[in-house]
Amino acid sequence: MAEETGYYWANGEPPPTIHIHSLAKHRVLERYLFRYVEILAADPRMPALRIDIVDGFSGGGIYTRADTNELWMGSPLIFLQTLEAVAAKINLTRKNEFHIDARFFFIEEKRENIGFLKKLLHEKGYGSRLGEDIFCIQGNFEDNHEKIINLIKEKSKSGRSIFLLDQYGYKDVPLAVLAKIFSTLKNAEVLLTFAAERLLDFLNPSEAYRSMLDRMGFNQFDPDSIEAIRTQPVWRFFIQAELSRHLHLGSAAKFFTPFFIRSRESNRAYWFVHLSMRARAHDEMVKVHWNFHNHFVHYGGAGFRMLGYDPDKDFEITGRREFAFDETAQAMTISALVEDLGTFIHDHPDGIKFSSIIEENANDAPGSSVEFQEAIMMLKSLKDIEIKTTTGGTRREVTQISGDDIIMPSKQTRLIFD
């Protein structure tokens, strides 16, 4: 990721400083990429995985950590080295070698930064691959996205690809670009940085602001009606809920998985959003979020629930451990799911598959399949639902729920108190 004004790479100069909150983002990326390949390569008969990696704001590829002064890999090296590491792990248990057939597109606008990246790749042993399966492109992502999408489509009908769009701010990836990705490449996934709180800081009904929203694709996001919400105590959460809805719908992605990351330096949070077309991809990213989160925002009235990372709540940084945070966040998530799913299931009197319950409710809660299963088990213990197997039998003792199990309302009368 290259910042709009602050990140510059120059040969002979130390790499720019990266702050703690950005390390969390890189860890989420690395962990998800590792799990992505592990899942797709689970079948030992699969000899290779073909994938395209697009880093739309690549920067110079390496940083200096603000807290330790040590070097820290940027996203290009994270992509290259993580794919090497996961392939090596998979091959430890394979008789026949597993191979990842990947192409890497690293896009960076500044000439000095892309020059630094090319030099870095040579130093790290990737020089011979430049122009073969590693492509460093000087320019901005918006100007290059159609060419990249077409290259991916020409090589693979499935369009299996991961786009990292780690913009600085909120203006450089219009919703039309996201919609183009998902309408063209059926197996694409996008990781998008979106500075939601910065966008709200400048919220106003001026023509300039409206023009900017129109260009971004948020033309249905009305500053006048939003202004009226400012009088409410938690107005920011109401607006962020509305903003996330517009971002999700405008992207044309089926699944929207946000993770907020708070910056100590600006005291603002930005979103690191995963967009995909497949429920399994969404579920795995939520599990990654649960691994790295240390904060939870839950405003039920605003319809706003999101896991996140805050450096001031990181035990490794502060030395203070948040008491039972994971248990509290999970309990709140499951409690909300019990309430929401109870109503949802009773709206399906003939029953609905457990996998369909997850798929149809995934965007409304920061829960993975683990939390959904816990909520279903709780509803079963409350005798609010019944669980039928594919053979028509009733699951009485529930320790594991199959995706094909049918969840249906209990024959007992449901009492609802207003």
pTM of the model: 0.90
Question: Domains of the chain (ranges plus CATH)?
Answer: 17-318 (3.40.50), 325-409 (1.10.10)
Higher pLDDT, 120 or 230: 120
Q: Is 230 exposed, middle or buried (0-12, 13-18, 19+ CB in 10 A)?
A: exposed
Largest CA distance in the chain: 74
235: Cα within 13 Å, side-chain hemisphere = 12
pLDDT at residue 1 greater than cutoff 90: no
Residues 307-350: pLDDT tens digits?
A: 788 777 665 554 444 434 456 778 888 888 999 999 999 999 99
d(CA 356, CA 346): 14
Rounded to an integer, the average pLDDT of 108-123 is 97
Query: Over 137-178, what HEC string results?
Result: EECCHHHHHHHHHHHHHHHCCCCCEEEEECCCCCCCCCHHHH
Residues 74-111: pLDDT tens digits?
A: 999 999 999 999 999 999 999 999 999 999 999 999 99
Residues 24-80: pLDDT tens digits?
A: 999 999 999 999 999 999 999 899 999 999 999 999 999 999 999 999 999 999 999
The 8-class DSSP code of residue 44 comes to: T
Rounded to an integer, the average pLDDT of 120-137 is 98
Contacts of 304 (CB under 8 A, 6+ apart): 237, 238, 240, 241, 244, 297, 298
Query: What confidence score (pLDDT) does residue 5 get?
Result: 52
